[in-house]
Amino acid sequence: MPYHADFPDDPLLREIAEMLDAGRSVAEVWDDRLRQVFVTSEYLRAVGVANVEQLGTLGLEPFHAEMFAARARWPWPAARVEELAPWYGTHGGLVVRQVGLERIRAVAPPEIATAAAAADPDREWVMCELNATQDVGGLTVSLRAALTAIYGPDGRLRGMVFAVGPAVSGHILTMLAFGDLANFERLSRLIQPDVRPAAILFADLEGSTRLARELPTRAYFDLIGRFVATFDACAIEHAGVVGKHAGDGASAFFLVQECGSPSRAAAAAIRAARDAAARLPGELRLNAAAHWGERVLAGNLVSAARLEATAFGEEVNEAARLESVASGGTLLATKALIERLDATDAAALDIDPHVGAYTMLGDLPGASEKARQDAGSLPVRRLPLDVDA
């Protein structure tokens, strides 16, 4: 728990702090002198640091910063003073009552002090919204913040709790709750793009162009929805991170950092493809390709419209070309991927990395000129997808 060493010996504040941390809230606890004495683990993750000592690297004292002095340098989100001032006009009166306006004027920017002075001093708790512009991409982040005072039975102020959450409706939050939490956790570990070793899986439906013409549009839409949901579920079950979808195509990345070893990452890609093929309705067949990337630049792409994992690198492009050649309901796997399998994983998958010849991708029937140009020299093997592994 990210306590400060001087956390007050106050069982009420400690109970509240532990409850906030267990509930995975982005929150702070302030003592009766309005000094920051606790931040939750999720708060640290939100500002992108590993421990409370690193808060200082963001321009925010780790602890014991008075509320208005700290908020003037609040790094998450990177809000400008003019954006913060209306916020203080909503909840600043409670703090003015406790520390006095003169102290606030001494530590806070003039715009904030003026806004706080005009706030209602009789409010014991407030809920307000803040729109702050991030430095990256010019995105606007809408937050809902709650500030409440904590009093003991004797009426004495014991401290304050400051909690932050997204300013979205309960309906939208419910929609997010339908997502897989394990996948969201993996996405959160990709906030900082970095070069990572990973198995790469691409897949699509056999004969999708024909199906699009033969089926009613709504029926085809439902079919693609079932395929995407099936593929994503199988990738997530095997510790994968779901990548982009394009038409009837889907992708996933099985990072060594999530799977535990190169062998387990390679095996996870093969298992996910086999599981997805097995779960599709009988009339549908999956084509897939699995490749190994030693230096895959994986991270999140964030815009106002979406958050998604993506990966870049030569091996990712090669995997896409490889998948374009896959046909007949099979998995094309590269030598680089198969030879990552250790004896245990290979046996469980019924694959012998040391037996069987490889074929250059460019020599396979149906290889396009682009596939030959970008990945024609890749040695590959066809692996059956209808194996119970």
Domains of the chain, CATH where assigned: 11-171 (3.30.450.20), 179-384 (3.30.70.1230)
Cα 331 vs. chain centroid, distance in angstroms? 28
d(CA 290, CA 279): 19
Q: Are strands 286-302 and 330-334 parallel, antiparallel or unpaired?
A: parallel
pLDDT value at residue 312: 84
**In this predicted structure, what is the pLDDT of residue 137?**
46
Q: Residue 254 and residue 355: Cα distance in Å, rounded? A: 25
Contacts of residue 108, Cβ cutoff 8 Å, sequence gap at least 6: 68, 69, 71, 72, 116
Q: pLDDT at position 57, please?
A: 53
- Smallest CA-to-CA distance from 323 within 208, 186, 193 is with 208
Tokens of 147: 């500030």
Q: Which residues of the chain have pLDDT under 50?
A: 58-65, 72-79, 133-138, 389
d(CA 316, CA 289): 11
| Axis crossing angle, helix 262-279 with helix 217-237, rounded to the nearest 10 | 150
pLDDT on residue 265: 96
pLDDT in tens, 348-375: 999 988 888 899 988 888 888 888 888 8
pLDDT of residue 175: 59
Amino acid identity at 79:
A
Query: pTM for this one?
Result: 0.65
Angle among Cα 234, 239, 240 to the nearest 5 degrees reads 70
pLDDT given at position 160: 82
- Tell me the residue type at 169: S
pLDDT at 339 (0 to 100): 94
| Angstrom distance (rounded) from CA 211 to CA 205 | 10
